[in-house]
Amino acid sequence: MSKSLTMQNITDKALELGFALIGKASAEPLFEWGREVERRIHDCLIPGDTWSRRNLEFAPDKLMPDARHALILVKSYKPFAEPFPSSIAAYSAHYREYPDGQQSALLFAKWLREMDINALVTSKLPLKALAVKAGLGVYRRNSLVYSKVSGSFMTLYGILVDTEIRGDTSYDDSSGGVSECSGCDLCVSRCPTGAIMPQGAIDLRRCIRNHMGSGKVVPPEIREAYGVRLLGCEICQRVCPQNAHFLKNLSLPPHEELEAFSLPNLLDLTQSSRKEALENIGNVIGRNYARKNRILGDAVIAAGNTKDPSLLEYLKETLKYPHVPVRAHSAWAIGRIGTPEAQEILTNALNQEKDPQAISEITSAMEKPDDE
């Protein structure tokens, strides 16, 4: 039982658990972050209703009244090689790495509690702002934090502690916390939906990732930019010259893992296949993301973007699925495939459909067959 831990002890333990870096920031409220969120909600860059459901908290003492520090743990990962094979819906390595890092963060907190230090693992704090404050990296214009060890390819975890931890980390990558993007604006110009504002704020209405997993109808103007992806978009990281070094020698996930993300597997509505498919992808990206209607809604968009007529046999079934966004996306996807068979499926569905939003999607899909 000892409360006299130093940053050196803490760093040794973090490295032992597989983290690349750890830093500490004081537990004072992050007023600047709070003001920036308010501004973005006011300017409609952040939709206020969905944001409040995230329950992010800029004042650490709301989560732990006697918090002294926020410890920020950094786990580095290699992104996957791209493109994925044509019938596979892509997912970002971030989501594969996150659950393991979370387990390690929980072990870290347990270890701290064994030293009589109250420790709370939380994802409810602004982790990027804290990482920058802890000197672990800098913000760049794509709104992500970059460290010297991983570029932007890292996952962050926060642990609040109630005890003073002496000493500093041996590195300081803060450079004032501000990006050195200078003349570059590649992420701004290459984001397929124009979601990155020149000043470095993300317009959540346009960011593809913000629509993924929402379970809602994705605005039609965003759907094509999804590409054949299921979870995550890395375009603004892959075009970044500051990440070039970390984008060498990449590999695809193992074959068995990729199979779980094959579109026929994801779209098959047969009861037993569905359960198995969700279990398999949940084992990779975590159960929180592997939710039935949400996965199906996004998989259908990815299927439309393959323009592969062999997927019509699945899409004609998802076009009858109970959740309206899945039907709406299915109509769009079938229209995008655009073969005579696709037209026939849409015509038949129009006679059966009762929901006004789904009817409108079927009608637009029939009116504008995608003949690019």
141 lies in the site for ligand SF4, by CB under 6 A = yes
Alpha carbon distance 75, 131 (integer Å): 12
Alpha carbon distance 222, 328 (integer Å): 14
For 229, phi then psi, to 5°, come to: -120, 150
228 lies in the site for ligand B12, by CB under 6 A = no
Pairing assessment for the beta strands 154-161 and 69-76 based on DSSP bridges: antiparallel
200 lies in the site for ligand B12, by CB under 6 A = yes
230 lies in the site for ligand B12, by CB under 6 A = no
Interface residue with ligand B12 among 87, 143, 193, 330 (CB under 6 A) is 143
Q: How far is the CB of 105 from ligand SF4 (least distance, A)?
A: 24
Interface residue with ligand B12 among 105, 159, 217, 236 (CB under 6 A) is 236
Q: Which of ligand B12, ligand SF4, none does residue 129 bind (CB under 5 to 8 Å by kind)? A: ligand B12
Binding mask 35-64 for ligand B12 (x = CB under 6 A): -xx--x------------------------
> Quick one: CA dihedral 28, 32, 33, 37, positive or negative?
positive
184 lies in the site for ligand SF4, by CB under 6 A = yes
Within 10 Å of residue 44's Cβ, how many Cβ atoms?
A: 11
**How far, in whole angstroms, is CA 272 from its chain's centroid?**
28
207 lies in the site for ligand SF4, by CB under 6 A = yes
Interface residue with ligand SF4 among 46, 89, 130, 187 (CB under 6 A) is 187
- Pair 87, 264: CB distance under 8 Å: yes
Alpha carbon distance 48, 46 (integer Å): 6
345 lies in the site for ligand SF4, by CB under 6 A = no
193 lies in the site for ligand SF4, by CB under 6 A = yes
Closer residue to ligand SF4 in complex, CB, 64/202: 202
231 lies in the site for ligand SF4, by CB under 6 A = no
Q: Which two tokens stand for residue 251?
A: 């590999």
208 lies in the site for ligand SF4, by CB under 6 A = yes
- For residue 186, what are the CA distances in angstroms to 76, 81, 160, 175, 201? 23, 20, 36, 22, 15
Alpha carbon distance 156, 128 (integer Å): 8
Q: Which two tokens stand for residue 352?
A: 């059966």
94 lies in the site for ligand B12, by CB under 6 A = yes
68 lies in the site for ligand B12, by CB under 6 A = no
Q: Which of ligand SF4, ligand B12, none does residue 337 bind (CB under 5 to 8 Å by kind)? A: none
3-state secondary structure of 24: strand
| Interacting residues toward ligand SF4 by CB under 6 A | 140-142, 179, 181, 184-187, 191, 193, 195-196, 202, 207-209, 233, 235-236, 239-242
